[in-house]
Structures are given as structure tokens and as C-alpha cells.
């Protein structure tokens, strides 16, 4: 018989063993430390974004997504094809800016004028198009009250529908009743036309697009075109009404103003001939004397500017060194002389290095320098004389212009004394002329505006009979349904996932429960009997491979190897603890070790049914009676595997489990067998599991993937820790491959070296 401490050669190559070795480093650390730390950090870990986790949620809830998607698409498309089709006919109008009002002068407007820059004008036209007056004209023009689309029978009132036996008011005459019905029908049709009409501006333009919706395609085009024609006719009628009175008024007023203008012009000409006044331009400042005065004034201004500049220059050479003046410094003759002088001075200084000043050559150079200085001074004097002459000429010219300006002013003052009456008459002529021209222009504009060709509204596109319905749009509705179905289904999936607080993945066990994951067991339909045995003995079974990995992990879970007495429990029933205990015992027995499997669930025993054993004599007979351990131990079909069933279920399981006989049984079993596996009861609500956990050497907690709630598992861990149970870790059972959560484990651990189907 192999000892637990012997090397595990068959399983050493198991990939899961590498993960199990990491558990040795945690064997001496209290599980409560990991649990509390993970629970404290749970919120921080939930905040991290994991796209693969989101994808896993969608795949787990794919039937929710697909069902919601199918419902939405089916409902939308059914509604689409059951909806009565509505056709839309469209026409486009161009509305230009309205012309000025009739009586309008510069700075004075009668009645106001609408500015095109304001959006109020276009808004007004939209309201006119959608007005009741326009709709009534369209109804009368097309006789829509008799059209089948608007001639549906009226709905009965509540009284007539539910209380037909009540007498109605018979005082109304038949003719009056018919008139009332016709009026109500007309109002209904007008309201329907207004309701089906839509007007919208086209961007930043002068265009309006008009739509009319109807279940009759031909009627939609007729109404749209009729609305535009009625709108144009209303606009023309409004213009004609406004211009009819304006023409008469303007013509009478124009004759009066024309007569006044002629009289004022005659009086002005007679007065100008009498006073011998000559006006060049016909205005107040149009006389020849005035023009001469303006010319002298402009010339004097220019001469004064020249005199000021000459005087400033003259004063400058009086008060400063004349050589520094710009006129001297910029004089080309002086600059040339200075350059020659500079060259001679340079030659003179070079000669002093060889000759004395009295040497003939040196005296010659000095003489040339003196001669050039004299020439420079002569040029400077010429500049000085020119500046003085310029200044004197400017003064003389200024004095002459001042004298002429004074003479011209005297002449103008004499003319102005005689022009007072002239100006009065001229202003009257100008006023009458402006009034006459303004009225004449208004009269012409009114005449033009009264014509049809000046209408500011034109049809760009006429409405045509639509070939396909506007609503419903199957393609658009299908796209919307697909969008809403997918996103709604995904949202619903994440909502269900958020409301679902069960443990599904091994990472959740690590993060939310602080349990080291010793094994992940896939979901299998095998539950008991031969099917369960077949799964455990099938070398290609993922189910058996998962339990072999669990066995390997347990061998590395403690410093001494696999615990001799191991209890398997769960937070509640139905999580797979009995299957785990049996399968684990089978896998240990396959190593050639003697294993004792004890059914410790004294409230709902199941191992004797699964293994096909007799349960008339079992654990309760030993704990509460005189049976001996050898009497209750049964052999099984599996080599090296022995079992103790629960026996008859007692009324006080907790008292039996806490007795000294239970401790003695486990001690004796640990001496006689290599390993003892206890199928313990669930933890929550019972005292049995914590009592067994305190007796057993180690405990393994089974968590059902997607079935065990997080709070239940935490409560179970807390209860086990309260009895100083040595909790090695957890086993995640019933892992579904549909969410691709288990595919990772099967693909990386259980199919190492090729696909299982290809093995011989």
C-alpha cells in the first residue's frame, strides 16, 4: 500500500499541479485573513474593466439576448406590416423677401416693413400655410368632405353606444340636424388636413418644404399642390387689396405735389434773375464766389504749411550749428568735399610719420585742406541763403493769399445778404421735388406689385404621386428593431447578471470568498449509479480529469500531503458535494490507496443509493447502538474503496456527530485506511457540518457554479471558521461550457497534447 508521502509519479505531469504548488505557500495562513482582505477589496476589483468578462456575461445570457432580440424584431415587424401605409407628397416653395410697404420714405415707414434677415417673416409664412383659412379653401376647392378618405362614419357617442334605450332629444329639426352634421364634418375634414400638413424650412435658405401625409397616395399629391396654389392666391389677393386703395391715393397726392413744385421753381428763377445771383451747382454753396473762397482757403492752408516748415528750418540754422542741419548734411556737393578733405587729412597724418610739417609736400597737402574748408563754408553759406530765401518767399505768398481771402469774404458776405430769400425759395423747391419723386416711385412700385409677375412666392418642385409609403418603413423599422433588440437584450443580460449574485467562475471564488480554488468540475448529466462510475473511469472524460486535478491539488495542499481525514461539505444541498466526495474517493482509490468513504449526512443520506449499497446498518447504528466499525464498513465494486453508509436517519443527528464515538471512529479509520473522505451535510441552518469540520483534519467546500449565492457561501465559511474548521479551499462544480468559462480550463488543461476525440 502506498504511503501519502510517496512521490506522485503518475500525476506529476498534471498541468493543474503547477497551480496546486502555489497552495503550499498559503497552507499556514489562516483562511479568514484571505477572506476578510478579499471582501474589503471586492469593490475595487469590481471597478476594473474586463472585456473578456463582459463577453462571458453575454455568452452566458445569450438566450436572454436572443429571446429579447427575437421578441423586439417580431413585435416591430408585425406592427410594421399591420400598420396602414401612409403616403407623403412633398412640394418645395421659394419665398423671397417682401417688397417695401406703400407709404415709405427715407427714415419714415408707414405700417412697418419686414426685414428678410429676421426669422419672423419665414415663420409667419409657415403659420399661414398651416392656418385654418388655407385648409378651408383647400377643402372647398377639392370637395374633400365627399372624399372617401375623409368620409368615414362618425363615431357613436358613449350614450348612444352603451345606453341606446335612452330617449334622445327630438326637438332638433331634420334640416337643422343635417346642417349641424355637415358643419361638424367640414370642421373634421379641415382639422384632418391641418393635421396631415407639415411645413419645414430648408436650411439657411428661402425655401420651404411642404409635406402632406395620407393613406391615399393620389390624394396626398392633390392636397399638397392645392395648398401651394391656395397659398399663392391668398398672397396675390392680399397684395391686390392693398394696392387698389394705394393707387388712387398716390395719384391724387401726386397731382397736388406736382403743381406746388412747378410754382416754387418759377418763384426761385424769378428771384435769382432779379438779384443777379449766379449758382454754379444749384445748391446753397454752389455760387462762383463761394467756390473762389473755397479755393483761396485751400491755397492759404497749403501756403501756411509751407511757411511754417520754412520758418522752422530758418529758425533751426539760427539757433544751432548749421553743419548739423539735414539740408547741409544731405548736400551732395558738401558731402563730396568732406570726403576729399577726409582723404587729404588721412594722407597728411600718414606723411607726418615720415616728414615734418614744414616739408613741401606736407605744406601742399595742408594748403589743399584749407582750400577745401573754404569751399565747404561757401557751400554752407549758399544753403543758408537758400533757406532764408525760401522762408521769405513763403511769408510773402501767405500775406498775398490772406489779402485775397479777405477780399473774397467781403464779396460773399454781400451775396449772402441778398441770398436769404433765394435760399428760402430753393429749400421749398427741394422739398417739393423730393416729395414728388418719392410719390412717383411709390406709385410705380404699387403698380408693379399689383401684377401677378411680381409675386414673391414660386413653386420649385410640384408634388407627385408617391410610389411607396412614407410610413411604415420596413427597412428603417428593421434596423431600429435590430438596434433596440441587441442593445436591449445585452442590457437585460447585464441586468440579470447584476441581480444574479451566485458564484460562477473560479476567479469569483478567489476574489469574493477568499477561497483558493482546488478544482473546477464541468457539468455532466451523470448523477448516480453506473453513469457516475463510467464518467470516473473514462480516461477521456473531462469530468474524471477534473477530479484527478482536484486530487493532485489536495496532495499539494498541506506540507504533509493530502489530509488523512477530509470532509466535503457545501453551503446548501444540491451543489454536488456527494458527487464530489464519491468521485474524489474513487480517484484516490485508483492510486492504489485504501479509502474509506463515510456518509456523514444523517438528515438526507444519498451515497447508499448512488453506490447501490444497503443502508439498514450504518453510521447511526455505531453512534447510537452497539454496532462495531467493522460491522458497518462495506466493500464496493471499486478496488480499495470502502464505504460506511448513514444507516437509519436519527432524530438527533447533531448530538450523535458531537459524541466521542464519532471522534473514535475517525481516529480508528485514519489508522486503518490511507484516507478517509466524509460526505458531510450542508452548512447553513445545520450544526452538523461545523461539528464534523472541527473533528476532521481538513474540510473542502463545494460551490455550485451559477447556483450558490455569494452571501450563502460567505455565511457557510463564517460558520466553519467559528468552529476552527481547517478549510483547505473550494471546488467549483457544475461549470457550464456554454458561457466559454469552462472551455478555458478544458482547452488548456484537459486537452493537452491533442483533441480527446483523436486519442486511440
For the ranges 144-158, 266-280, 647-661, the lowest mean pLDDT is seen at 144-158
In the three-class reduction of DSSP (H, G, I as helix; E, B as strand; rest coil), residue 130 is classed as coil
Residue of 133 and 339 predicted with greater confidence: 133
DSSP secondary structure of 369-413: HHHHHHHHHHHHHHHHHHHHHHHHHHHHHHHHHHHHHHHHHHHHH
Q: How confident is the model at residue 622 (pLDDT cuts 50, 70, 90)?
A: very high
**The three cell numbers locating residue 617:** 446498518
Q: Which residue would you say has higher pLDDT here, 70 or 419?
A: 70
Whether pLDDT at 157 is above 50: no
The 10s digit of each residue's pLDDT in 456-500 is 788 888 888 888 888 888 888 899 999 999 999 999 988 888 887
For residue 22, name the pLDDT band (cuts at 50, 70, 90).
very low
Helix (H) / strand (E) containing 242: helix 217-275
What was the pLDDT predicted at 103?
Answer: 46
Comparison of pLDDT for 676 and 525, the residue scoring more: 676
> How far apart, in Å, are the Cα atoms of 666 and each of 324, 593, 693, 728?
127, 17, 12, 19
pLDDT digits (tens, 9 = 90+) for 693-702: 999 999 999 9
Say yes or no to pLDDT of 529 above 70: no
Residue whose C-alpha is closest to residue 567's, from 655, 697, 674: 697
- Judged against a pLDDT cut of 90, whether residue 668 lies above it is answered with yes
Name the least confident of 112-121, 342-351, 724-733. 112-121
What mean pLDDT do residues 722-727 have?
89
**Contact call for residues 517 and 527 (beta carbons, < 8 A):** no
pLDDT of residue 699: 94
Find the mean pLDDT for residues 293-307.
75
Q: Taking 70 as the threshold, does the pLDDT of residue 447 lie above it?
A: no
More confident residue, 132 or 274: 132
For position 242, what pLDDT does the model report?
Answer: 65
Q: 217-257, pLDDT tens digit by residue? A: 888 888 989 898 888 888 877 777 766 777 777 778 888 88
> Nearest Cα to 570, choosing from 758, 734, 702, 424?
702
Q: pLDDT-derived band of residue 155, with 50, 70 and 90 as boundaries?
A: very low
pLDDT of residue 566: 94
Residue 525 is given by DSSP the state S
Q: Which range in 26-40, 106-120, 201-215 is most confidently predicted, on average pLDDT?
A: 201-215
Torsion angles phi and psi, residue 143, rounded to 5: 55, 50
What pLDDT was estimated at residue 118?
59
Task: Give residue 176's pLDDT.
Answer: 54
User: What is the full DSSP assignment across 565-621?
Assistant: EEEEEESSTTSSHHHHHHHHHHHHHTTT--EEEEE--SSS--HHHHHT---SSSHHH
HSE (side-chain half, CA atoms, 13 Å) at 400: 9
Binning pLDDT at 50, 70 and 90, where does residue 35 land?
Answer: very low
Q: Residue 403: its pLDDT value, please?
A: 74
- What is the Cβ-side half-sphere exposure of residue 238, based on CA atoms within 13 angstroms? 12
CA dist 227 → 138, 189, 202, 297, 708 (Å):
6, 14, 18, 70, 70
Give the C-alpha distances (Å, rounded to integers) separating 69 from 59, 80, 303.
14, 16, 96
Q: What is the pLDDT of residues 105-153, one digit of tens each?
A: 444 344 444 444 557 888 888 888 888 988 888 888 888 888 888 775 5
* DSSP 3-state of 52: helix
Q: Is the pLDDT of residue 752 over 60?
A: no
* Averaged pLDDT, 303-329: 67
For residue 599, the cross-strand partners are 679
Check if CATH label 3.40.50.2000 holds for domain 17-48+501-758.
no
Three-state SS sequence of 410-469: HHHHHHHHHHHHHHHHHHHHHHHHHHHHHHHHHHHHHHHHCCHHHCCEEEEECCCCCCCC
Return the percentage of the chain with pLDDT > 70, whole number: 74
What pLDDT is recorded for position 277? 67
**Closest Cα to residue 212, out of 114, 135, 265?**
135
What confidence tier does 669 reach under pLDDT thresholds 50, 70, 90? very high
pLDDT attached to residue 121: 82
Residues 6+ apart with CB under 8 A from 106: none
Would you state the pLDDT for residue 20?
37
The mean-pLDDT minimum among 3-12, 108-117, 351-360 falls in 3-12
pLDDT of residue 268: 77
Mean model confidence pLDDT for the chain:
77
pTM: 0.50
How would you write 640-666 as a 3-class SS string? CEEEECCCCCCCCHHHHHCCHHHHHHH
Mean per-residue pLDDT for 199-209?
Answer: 87
Confidence tier at 531 by pLDDT (50, 70, 90)? confident
Written as nine digits, the cell of 207 is 425655401
Amino acid at each position: 500500500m502506498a504511503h501519502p508521502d510517496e512521490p506522485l509519479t503518475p500525476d506529476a505531469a498534471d498541468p493543474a499541479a503547477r497551480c496546486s504548488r502555489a497552495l503550499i505557500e498559503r497552507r499556514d495562513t489562516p483562511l479568514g485573513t484571505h477572506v476578510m482582505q478579499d471582501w474589503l477589496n471586492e469593490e475595487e476589483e469590481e471597478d476594473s474593466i474586463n472585456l473578456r468578462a463582459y463577453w462571458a456575461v453575454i455568452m452566458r445570457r445569450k438566450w436572454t439576448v436572443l429571446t429579447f432580440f427575437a421578441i423586439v424584431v417580431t413585435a416591430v415587424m408585425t406592427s410594421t406590416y399591420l400598420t396602414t401605409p401612409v403616403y407623403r407628397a412633398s412640394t418645395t416653395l421659394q419665398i423671397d423677401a417682401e417688397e417695401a410697404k406703400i407709404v415709405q420714405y427715407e427714415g419714415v415707414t408707414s405700417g412697418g416693413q419686414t426685414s428678410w434677415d429676421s426669422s419672423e417673416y419665414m415663420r409667419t409664412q409657415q403659420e399661414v400655410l398651416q392656418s385654418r383659412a388655407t385648409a378651408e379653401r383647400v377643402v372647398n376647392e377639392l370637395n374633400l368632405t365627399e372624399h372617401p378618405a375623409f368620409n368615414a362614419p362618425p363615431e357613436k357617442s358613449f350614450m348612444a353606444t352603451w345606453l341606446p334605450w335612452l330617449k334622445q332629444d327630438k326637438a332638433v329639426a331634420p334640416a337643422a340636424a343635417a346642417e349641424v352634421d355637415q358643419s361638424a364634418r367640414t370642421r373634421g375634414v379641415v382639422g384632418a388636413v391641418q393635421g396631415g400638413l407639415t411645413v419645414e424650412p430648408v436650411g439657411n435658405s428661402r425655401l420651404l418644404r411642404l409635406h402632406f401625409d395620407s393613406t391615399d397616395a393620389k390624394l396626398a399629391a392633390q392636397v399638397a399642390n392645392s395648398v401651394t396654389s391656395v397659398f399663392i392666391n391668398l398672397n396675390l389677393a392680399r397684395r391686390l387689396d392693398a394696392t387698389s386703395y394705394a393707387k388712387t391715393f398716390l395719384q391724387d397726392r401726386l397731382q397736388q405735389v406736382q403743381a406746388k413744385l412747378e410754382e416754387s421753381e418759377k418763384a426761385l428763377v424769378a428771384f435769382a434773375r432779379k438779384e443777379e445771383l449766379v449758382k454754379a451747382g444749384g445748391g446753397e454753396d454752389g455760387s462762383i464766389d463761394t467756390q473762389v473762397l473755397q479755393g483761396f482757403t485751400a491755397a492759404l492752408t497749403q501756403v501756411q504749411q509751407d511757411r511754417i516748415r520754412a520758418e522752422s528750418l530758418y529758425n533751426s540754422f539760427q539757433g544751432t550749428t548749421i553743419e548739423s542741419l539735414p539740408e547741409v548734411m544731405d548736400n551732395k556737393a558738401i558731402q563730396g568735399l568732406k570726403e576729399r578733405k577726409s582723404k587729404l587729412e588721412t594722407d597728411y597724418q600718414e606723411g607726418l610719420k615720415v616728414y615734418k610739417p614744414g616739408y613741401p609736400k606736407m605744406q601742399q597737402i595742408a594748403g589743399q585742406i584749407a582750400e577745401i574748408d573754404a569751399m565747404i563754408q561757401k557751400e554752407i553759406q549758399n544753403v543758408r541763403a537758400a533757406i532764408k530765401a525760401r522762408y521769405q518767399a513763403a511769408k510773402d505768398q501767405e500775406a498775398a493769399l490772406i489779402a485775397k481771402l479777405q477780399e473774397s469774404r467781403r464779396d460773399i458776405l454781400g451775396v449772402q445778404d441778398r441770398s436769404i430769400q433765394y435760399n428760402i425759395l430753393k429749400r421749398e423747391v427741394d422739398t417739393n421735388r423730393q416729395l414728388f419723386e418719392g410719390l412717383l416711385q411709390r406709385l410705380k412700385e404699387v403698380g408693379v406689385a399689383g401684377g401677378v409677375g411680381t409675386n414673391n412666392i414660386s413653386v420649385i418642385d410640384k408634388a407627385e404621386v408617391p410610389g411607396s409609403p412614407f410610413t411604415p418603413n420596413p427597412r428603417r423599422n428593421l434596423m431600429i428593431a435590430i438596434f433596440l433588440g441587441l442593445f436591449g437584450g445585452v442590457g437585460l443580460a447585464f441586468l440579470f447578471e447584476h441581480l444574479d449574485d451566485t458564484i460562477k467562475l473560479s476567479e469569483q471564488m478567489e476574489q469574493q470568498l477568499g477561497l483558493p480554488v482546488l478544482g473546477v468540475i464541468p457539468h455532466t448529466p451523470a448523477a448516480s449509479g453506473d453513469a457516475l462510475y463510467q464518467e470516473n473511469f473514462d480516461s477521456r472524460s473531462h469530468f474524471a480529469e477534473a477530479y484527478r486535478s482536484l486530487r493532485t491539488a489536495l496532495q499539494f495542499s498541506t506540507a504533509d500531503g493530502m489530509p488523512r481525514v477530509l470532509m466535503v461539505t457545501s453551503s446548501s444541498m444540491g451543489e454536488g458535494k456527494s458527487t464530489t466526495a464519491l468521485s474524489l474517493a474513487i480517484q484516490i482509490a485508483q492510486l492504489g490507496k485504501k479509502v474509506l468513504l463515510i456518509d456523514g449526512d444523517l438528515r438526507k443520506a444519498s451515497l447508499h443509493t448512488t453506490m447501490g449499497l444497503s443502508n439498514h446498518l450504518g453510521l447511526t447504528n455505531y453512534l447510537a447502538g452497539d454496532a462495531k466499525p467493522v460491522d458497518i464498513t462495506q466493500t464496493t465494486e471499486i478496488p480499495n474503496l470502502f464505504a460506511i453508509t448513514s444507516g437509519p436517519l436519527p432524530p438527533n443527528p447533531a448530538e450523535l456527530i458531537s459524541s466521542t464515538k464519532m471522534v473514535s471512529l475517525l481516529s480508528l479509520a485514519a489508522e486503518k485506511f490511507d484516507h478517509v473522505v466524509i460526505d458531510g451535510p450542508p452548512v447553513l441552518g445545520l450544526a452538523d457540518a461545523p461539528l464534523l469540520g472541527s473533528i476532521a483534519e481538513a474540510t473542502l467546500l463545494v460551490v455550485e457554479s451559477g447556483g450558490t449565492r455569494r452571501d450563502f457561501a460567505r455565511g457557510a465559511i463564517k460558520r466553519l471558521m467559528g468552529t476552527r474548521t481547517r478549510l483547505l479551499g473550494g471546488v467549483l462544480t457544475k461549470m457550464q461550457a456554454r458561457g466559454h468559462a469552462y472551455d478555458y480550463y478544458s482547452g488548456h488543461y484537459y486537452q493537452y497534447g491533442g483533441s480527446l476525440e483523436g486519442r486511440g
